[in-house]
Amino acid sequence: MIPHLKVQRADAETARARLEREGLLHPDFRAQHDGDFVLWPLAGAAEGEIVQCKGRPARAIGRDYRDALSPELRKLAPRAFDMLGHVGILRLSDEAQPHVTAIAQALLESHANLRTVAVDSGVGGQWRVRNLAVVAGDDDLVVLHRENNLRFEVDLQQVFFSPRLAGERARIAALVRPGERMLDAFAGVGPFAITAARAGAQAVAIDGNPAAEKWALRNCEFNNLSSESFEFHTGLAEELVPRLGSFDRVVANHPTGSLAFIATGLAALAPGGVLHLYLLADRKAPELPAGVAEELSDFASVSGSRMVHPYSPGRELRVLDLLRKSS
Ligand SMILES: C[S@@+](CC[C@H](N)C(=O)[O-])C[C@H]1O[C@@H](n2cnc3c(N)ncnc32)[C@H](O)[C@@H]1O
């Protein structure tokens, strides 16, 4: 279920513009109509009447960029794409590759706020950086992204960033109690830690990618946080975490490395603290994917489990909330 903002049809466009400006419009879903009302899918906490309902998948909001293509190309061009700041990001099938220029140009021309179109051939390497090739428009992959009333700047060629986690960042921030100590162990440019710090946490962020710190500190400044509520350490989480004291909340968003981090993450929690663990799971897998139960032992219990978003056919990004027992 996805939270939606319910507004009168007459107010729908004003509400959409406001949500888009504040980075609260969910990029993976589209509007729904219910009598005299329009329901806008949300990627964060918004003011107004909120209703929970099944999301209607559709990445592109507005007109379909494929309308400008020939019927043959239209069949090959993907309907879905990501929009990150001024960059449109396409994933192309092998059949679509020879037509990349025409497809990218159609996307660029259909969205006035796009200046660049890039093709994404996946996340890779130790620092999970997206492999992007600019195929139309300006050769500029430094983006300014807005979500949850915050601004994040990132060079997509240097550091991982995903706009699809905006809803999760809002969820975690809503759980934060003022003054709690929060650790973001795989922080990238800091969106989880910064969103939590804005909600009142004392946030500590770690990332191994040497390029992450510069962007994280810049984003800290962009979002008016002082060094008292946000600190950043460059290094490997498994080495740094045991030296940083205990935390009320730990976020571990490193889906391909999260299993190996469970013991370290739980050991860093104060009794009653929570580890939010992001991992890839089979959509049909039970609540606890293989290997997790062994790591929990008597130390922790599962207080929540939900899909964040689909990842590939048959797999999903899942978050487990693991509660460290009090004694
Ligand atoms: C999936 S990204 C998540 C980034 C960030 N949390 C976000 O939501 O944008 C995983 C991050 O973990 C970092 N990383 C990978 N291995 C690491 C390690 N052993 N210690 C610290 N950071 C690591 C990568 O550089 C990358 O930024």
Q: For each of the chain's 327 residues, which pLDDT tens digit applies? A: 889 999 998 888 788 878 877 778 887 787 888 888 889 988 888 889 999 998 887 644 457 899 999 999 999 999 989 999 999 999 999 999 999 999 999 999 998 889 999 999 999 899 999 999 999 999 999 999 999 999 999 999 999 999 999 999 999 999 999 999 999 999 999 999 999 999 999 999 999 999 999 999 999 999 999 989 999 999 999 999 999 999 999 999 999 999 999 999 999 999 999 999 999 999 887 778 888 888 887 789 999 998 998 888 889 999 999 999 886
Q: What was the pLDDT predicted at 312?
A: 83
Q: Is 152 in the pocket of ligand 1 (CB under 6 A)?
A: no
CA 166, chain centre distance (Å): 5
Given a contact cutoff of 8 angstroms between Cβ atoms, the answer to whether 206 and 240 are in contact is yes
Q: Which atom of ligand 1 is nearest to the CA of 127?
A: 25
Q: Is the CB of 264 under 6 A from ligand 1?
A: no
Probe target for ligand 1 pocket from 82, 182, 254, with the most ligand atoms within 8 Å of CB: 254
- Nearest by Cα to 130 from 82, 98, 170: 82
Largest CA distance in the chain: 65
pLDDT over 90 percentage in the chain:
71
Question: For residue 208, how far is its CA from the centre of ligand 1 (angstroms)?
Answer: 7
User: Residue 99 C-alpha to ligand 1 middle, in angstroms?
Assistant: 34
Measured CA to CA, the distance from residue 217 to residue 220 in angstroms comes to: 5
Most informative mutation of 186, 262, 311 for ligand 1 (most atoms within 8 A of CB): 186
Q: How many CB atoms lie within 10 A of CB 202?
A: 19
Class of domain 65-140: alpha beta
Q: Is the CB of 188 under 6 A from ligand 1?
A: yes
Ligand 1 contact, 253 CB (< 6 A)? yes
Ligand 1 test: best mutation among 84, 126, 128, 250, most atoms within 8 Å of CB?
128
Helix (H, G, I), strand (E, B) or coil at 300: strand
pLDDT in tens, 101-137: 999 999 999 988 899 999 999 998 999 999 999 999 9
Taking the CA of residue 257 as reference, the ligand 1 atom at the shortest distance is 16
Q: Is the C-beta atom of 261 inside 6 A of ligand 1?
A: no
Residue 66 beta carbon below 6 angstroms from any ligand 1 atom: no
Residue intervals in the chain for CATH 3.30.300.110: 65-140
CATH 3.40.50.150 domain position(s) in the chain: 162-324
Q: What dihedral do alpha carbons 73, 129, 61, 85 form, nearest 10°?
A: -120
pTM: 0.81
CA distance 307 to 252: 15
Indicate which residue's Cα is closest to atom 15 of ligand 1.
127
Architecture of domain 2-57: 2-Layer Sandwich (3.30)
Instruction: Report which protein residue has its CA nearest ligand 1's atom 12.
Output: 186
Taking CA atoms, 205 is separated from 189, 221, 230, in Å, by 9, 15, 7
State the pLDDT at residue 295: 87
Spell 219-237 as b/e; 16+ CB within 10 A means b: bbeebebeeebbbbbbeeb
- Which numeric CATH code is attached to 162-324? 3.40.50.150
Task: Tell me, using a 6 A CB cutoff, whether residue 5 lines ligand 1.
Answer: no
For CATH 3.30.70.2580, list the domain ranges present in the chain: 2-57
| 100-131 as b/e: b if 16+ CB within 10 A | bebbbbbbbebbeebbbbbbbeeeeeebbbbe
Write down the pLDDT at residue 58: 61
CA distances to 110, 131, 138, 277 from 105, in Å: 9, 20, 12, 39
* Token pair of 257 as six digits: 């490395």
